[in-house]
Chains A and B, each alone.
Chain A
Amino acid sequence: MSQIISEFYDGLFLTIIDVAPIVILVVLFQLLVIKQPLANPRRIIVGVTLVIFGLTLFLMGLEKALFPIGNIMARQLSEADFISSSYSDTSSWIAYYWVYIFAALIGFSTTIAEPSLIAVAIKANQVSGGTISMWGLRIVVAIGVALALALGTFRIVTGTPLYIYILAGYIIVIIQTIFSSKKLIALAYDSGGVTTSTVTVPLVAALGIGLSSVVPGSNPAVDGFGLIAFASLFPIITVLGYAQIMELINKKPKISSNEI
């Protein structure tokens, strides 16, 4: 019990350090520049307290439940015994198919639980007057992360250079941007940055470094990175793609493309 309490205090301390610069900045600005009290200060203080406690418990729970087992799984799935038991030719990239499937599914499911994506989805839903559904946006972004991690682990296994994929991804985004309606572009760009925080990054980093230390001829320092970069790029592609598909569907019956 005492160990749990001390873990809680450690987590609380880290979260408070995270929040402190914001609180200091906002209070200084209120006092010195704006010179007006915040509206509803009690409610805001309660809200910030809930955020701090919520995030502390959330991270503490992840450390206890998800991260240890996720790391063990990532390691076991890329171990030679497991690879050779499920596929005869262990040198082929196909032998690692369970790794790709695991990466995709863990990417999808951790993105659904990502608190900052939930925040952006709430805002997008409010601002669009409900036309952008929270679950819709989150699922489309999560599909993007799933594709990203499957392709990213494939890249680590094959050892192809990272920048080629990223450059190709950029070119796809640029082409999509030219052809898509301008309404969702900013949201799509944002969805790239929000997917990778508290839940996804630690697991994904472990997966990348673990995988590249097992794959023959791969160097963790060069090949272990890049999964997060993939996961920040692909959601942009899927969200823009989704916007285009919805536009095509909406165009056909009547001209009401301003719904999106």
Chain B
Amino acid sequence: MTNIIKYSKKAYFFGRYVFLKLRSAFLDLLPIILVVTFFQLVILRQPFPQFGEIVFGSFLVLIGLMLFIEGLEMGLFPIGESMAYALAKKGNLFWLMFFSFALGFSTTVAEPALIAVTQEAARVSADANLIDSSQESKENYALGLRLSVAFSVGLAILIGVLRILKGWPIYYLIIGGYILVMLVTLIAPQEIIGLAYDLGGVTTSTITVPLVTALGVGLATVIKGRNPLIDGFGLIAFASLLPMIFAMLYGIFVFS
């Protein structure tokens, strides 16, 4: 009897917990639902095509978001934090730098969004007669661009981690980066500029961001004299800035 009470209590708390998480995921999605419904019914005045499919898809989005956020705090954040603690405790600068670079490079190089954008870039460049329009030269171009972007993200995380260690103020580095972007823009071929600017936004995936953020905040927490808020953030900023510079430099290098 007591067991039944115990289990039903447990089930109640679990159910309540899931309900609260579902509600909060629903609130996250509510704006999209409102905007899409408003435009479809009021502005375009059309019924929803395949209504069942859309309801089912929205349900998947809801469950998926709930599981992702739950897993974030259980899995991704602890991994980033414990790597930061362990590597800081080890006190070996080389391994910390190596890890940072490898994390940036390996999570970017196979990123589907990046592959898609580089192929698009190859097509656009071939159309503009900047590169040879044969399949092979397009593939080489796309691969080269992808590797230089992945390299730049690795370098970005490395520089960002070094900044946290040394306590350099972030704005000098970022503003310096902006000035570099402006200078490179002046000499970069017109066709690559828009793509290069967009590349900055696509390199950081949904799995990389939490991990890298936890790594930065973790490092800034363990290292004496660093403030997690002031010094812990900023890694993502480098990872969105450097790819722009490298993509344009790659364009200049290949086209000339």
Contacts and interface: CB of A to CB of B under 8 A. Distances in A.
Interface of A: 14, 17-19, 21-22, 24-26, 29-30, 33-34, 36, 38-40, 43-66, 68-70, 72-73, 76-77, 82, 98, 102, 105-106, 108-110, 112-113, 115-116, 118-120, 122-124, 127-128, 162-163, 166-167, 170, 173-174, 177, 182-187, 189-190, 192-199, 201, 221-229, 231-232
B106 A22 contact: yes
Contact of B198 (A54, A76, A226): A226
B197 A48 contact: no
A65 to B, nearest CB: 3
Q: Which 6 A-B pairs have the closest CB atoms?
A: A47-B75, A65-B57, A47-B74, A64-B57, A58-B64, A50-B71
A27 to B, nearest CB: 10
Most chain-A Cβ atoms within 10 A of its Cβ — which of B67, B107, B124, B239? B67
A115 B194 contact: no
B229 A18 contact: no
A219 B73 CA distance: 44
A190 B236 contact: yes
B40 A192 contact: no
Nearest to A181: B230
Interface residues of B, number: 104
A120 to B, nearest CB: 6
B184 to A, nearest CB: 11
Contacts of B67: 50-51, 53-54, 57
B75 A115 contact: no
5 contacts: A18-B112, A22-B107, A56-B64, A113-B65, A190-B233
Given A54-B70, A66-B61, A112-B28, A229 B198 contact: yes
Contacts of A222: 190-191, 194
A1 B193 CA distance: 45
Given A60-B64, A64-B54, A198-B205, 20 more contacts: A21-B107, A22-B79, A25-B102, A33-B87, A33-B90, A34-B90, A39-B82, A54-B70, A60-B60, A64-B53, A64-B57, A73-B39, A105-B39, A112-B32, A118-B69, A119-B72, A123-B77, A162-B194, A195-B201, A228-B202
B88 to A, nearest CB: 11
**Chain B interface SS verdict (over half):** helix
Contact of A185 (B86, B170, B207): B170
Given A25-B102, A187-B229, A50 B206 contact: no
A129 B38 CA distance: 38
A62 B234 contact: no
Given A122-B73, A127-B228, A109 B57 contact: no
Contact of A44 (B78, B169, B228): B78
A45 B185 CA distance: 44
